Structure 1
């Protein structure tokens, strides 16, 4: 397994990044973030402190991962996916704890989706591009739309 590759124009403050991971230009990764092995963190991304990313994940451009996000192994997060972590956000008023969002192993989230905080996306689920996900998704299901709804079971 190769070493971590960090583009010279990235701001990587974390020392908890697994071997084989590549971080592209203009990515910002805060000191306490944890990223697994063999991941691809594309340009123009931001990863906050209380974020855990598993192995073999792809984080495409324009994605911001906020405190409380837990991402499993082999997860694909498409470009410009938006996550939230505060149900009632106000400027300069912070909750005692941010909402925790769990993305289980093998999940794919399509480009431009919005994922509200405090939910779980089950193992192997897929979220269609442009979806607004307001509730948890069971394992192995395809959800899409605004708001997102169940479409069908996924057969691997």
Structure 2
């Protein structure tokens, strides 16, 4: 069973349809929308500010989502966050994609349909426009998201929603 804890009297609000893996930890001022998945080894810690996670989001294994005093974290609908990413006090708009081991820092904004490549470091306050791909450390504009990228993004997100539903069903049968 996942560890879901209050912080300063605030208990996370998690939609009943969301899958939260047994080894995930969610604490404090966190709200998670329907049909999302918080996978194994994730930490979602809303202590000094709030975290809002939309519908159909998948936060893959080993990812950390945190906040800072000036900035909460907002993750829009249908966002994919790859394994072992660090999402810290930033905004990820709907349909954006964050690659494995990417780091998105305080005050950064990733607009709708943008893609942050695996291993990228999005520095504080950086603004990634809609439909662009950024990569590197520090992250920089590489090119516009192309048809192949959009196809990959459109494939992964709904598949993770389905996978989360299967895991949730299996868990309820135990």
**If the length of structure 2 is used for normalisation, what is the TM-score?**
0.72
Higher relative contact order (CA 8 A, sep 6+): 2
Q: The residue matched to 2:133 in structure 1 has which SS?
A: strand
The unaligned stretches of length 5 or more in structure 1 are: 1-7, 86-100
1:53 and 2:56 correspond: no
1:27 and 2:24 correspond: yes
1:49-95 CA-to-partner distances (Å, cap 9, x unmatched) read 2111000000001111112111000000101111334xxxxxxxxxx
Q: RMSD in angstroms over aligned alpha carbons?
A: 1.4
Select the residue among 124, 130, 138 that pairs with 1:139: 130
Q: How many residues align?
A: 133
The unaligned stretches of length 5 or more in structure 2 are: 6-10, 151-174
Structure 2 partner of 1:151: 142
Which stretches of structure 1, 4 residues or more, deviate above 2 A after TM superposition? Answer: none
1:93-134 CA-to-partner distances (Å, cap 9, x unmatched) read xxxxxxxx1100001100011112111100010011011112
Structure 2 partner of 1:107: 96
Alpha-carbon distance in structure 1 between the residues aligned to 2:12 and 2:115: 31
